[in-house]
């Protein structure tokens, strides 16, 4: 490489860094009740660069709101978020008192680094680890979550079987646990139902995602989004009558 080539290469790297920096933004998400005594906000670092996928998607906003509304249920329990990405639901769980582990694909190091930065930004002590669905690393066997969260994890049908394999293992590894997920009601809905039967799972709660959102949050979102609670067949997720707080 001659001096001209080296100079051009260096300029391209500088341009990439500047472009990457311009694509990053911090969004704030507010959670409050009528008394506002326990109100708080979560700041999230988003990267608008398409190949990173570090957006706060509507499914994450709805699941985070559900965690907030059910915050007494999340107090002092172990929570794992699958495919966490920007991690908004997991961060809210940590804020209301959960012991949270945020996970995403082990190969997506930029996502893991972003999760660590977001935890520091919000002064939250969450564990961050790589977890590739269908891959049995030693660290997976140490997870015993009471609640598993997953926002918009049903988007790639080719990954569904690996996701259900990992999900079923985690549910079996912690008897009485529950998977709470929000997802767009896409064409893969029937495949989800088939795989639930295949892996011995059942849905114990199904809601229209927008039905739980305050009007100010619902007005800025669109889509056909559902919220489901899924457990092992033969088990019932624990939920006290006081768990729903509005």
> How much is the pLDDT for 1?
55
Report which of 186, 167, 173 is spatially closest to residue 230, judged by C-alpha positions: 167
Pairing relation of β-strands 178-184 and 99-104? unpaired
Length of the chain: 246
Residue 240 has pLDDT above 90, yes or no: no
Which pLDDT belongs to residue 238?
Answer: 55
Q: Check whether 153 has a pLDDT greater than 90.
A: yes
Instruction: Reduce the secondary structure of 36-90 to three states and give it as a string.
Output: CCCCEEEEEEEECCCCCCECCCHHHHHHHHHHHHCHHHHCCCEEEEECCCCCHHH
* Average pLDDT estimate for 64-72: 97
State the average pLDDT over residues 28-51: 83
Give the residue, 3 or 157, on which the prediction is more confident: 157
Q: How confident is the model at residue 54 (pLDDT cuts 50, 70, 90)?
A: confident
pTM: 0.87
Q: Which residues pair with 47 in a beta bridge?
A: 24, 54
Question: pLDDT for 192-202, tens place per residue?
Answer: 999 999 999 99
- Point out the least confidently predicted range of 11-15, 32-36, 145-149, 154-158: 11-15
Task: With a cut of 80, say whether residue 237 has pLDDT above it.
Answer: no
Q: What is the mean pLDDT of residues 187-213?
A: 91
196, two tokens: 């639930």
The reported pLDDT for the residue numbered 21 is 55
Query: In Å, what is the CA distance from 68 to each residue of 74, 97, 199?
Result: 9, 11, 29
pLDDT at 37: 74
* Pairing between β-strand 225-232 and β-strand 147-151 as defined by DSSP bridges: unpaired
Instruction: Say yes or no to pLDDT of 2 above 80.
Output: no
pLDDT for res 244: 41
Lowest mean pLDDT among 7-16, 90-99, 193-202, 207-216: 7-16
């Amino acid at each position: 490489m001659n001096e001209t080539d080296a100079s051009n290469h260096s300029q391209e790297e500088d341009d990439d860094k500047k472009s990457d920096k311009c694509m990053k933004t911090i969004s704030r998400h507010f959670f409050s009740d009528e008394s506002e005594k326990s109100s708080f906000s979560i700041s999230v670092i988003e990267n608008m660069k398409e190949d990173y996928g570090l957006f706060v998607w509507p499914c994450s906003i709805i699941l985070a709101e559900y965690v907030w509304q059910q915050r007494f249920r999340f107090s002092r329990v172990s929570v794992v978020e699958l495919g966490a990405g920007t991690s908004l639901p997991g961060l809210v769980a940590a804020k209301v008192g959960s012991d949270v582990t945020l996970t995403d694909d082990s190969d997506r190091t930029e996502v893991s680094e972003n999760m660590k930065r977001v935890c520091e930004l919000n002064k939250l002590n969450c564990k961050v680890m790589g977890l590739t669905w269908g891959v049995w690393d030693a660290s997976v066997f140490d997870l015993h979550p009471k609640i598993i969260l997953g926002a918009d994890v049903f988007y790639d049908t080719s990954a569904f079987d690996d996701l259900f394999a990992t999900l079923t293992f985690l549910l079996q590894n912690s008897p009485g646990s529950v998977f709470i997920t929000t997802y767009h009601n896409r064409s893969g809905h029937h495949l989800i139902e088939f795989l639930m039967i295949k892996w011995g799972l059942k849905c114990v709660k199904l809601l229209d995602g927008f039905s739980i959102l305050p009007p100010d949050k619902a007005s800025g979102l669109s889509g056909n989004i559902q919220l489901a609670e899924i457990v092992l067949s033969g088990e019932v997720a624990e939920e006290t009558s006081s768990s729903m707080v509005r």
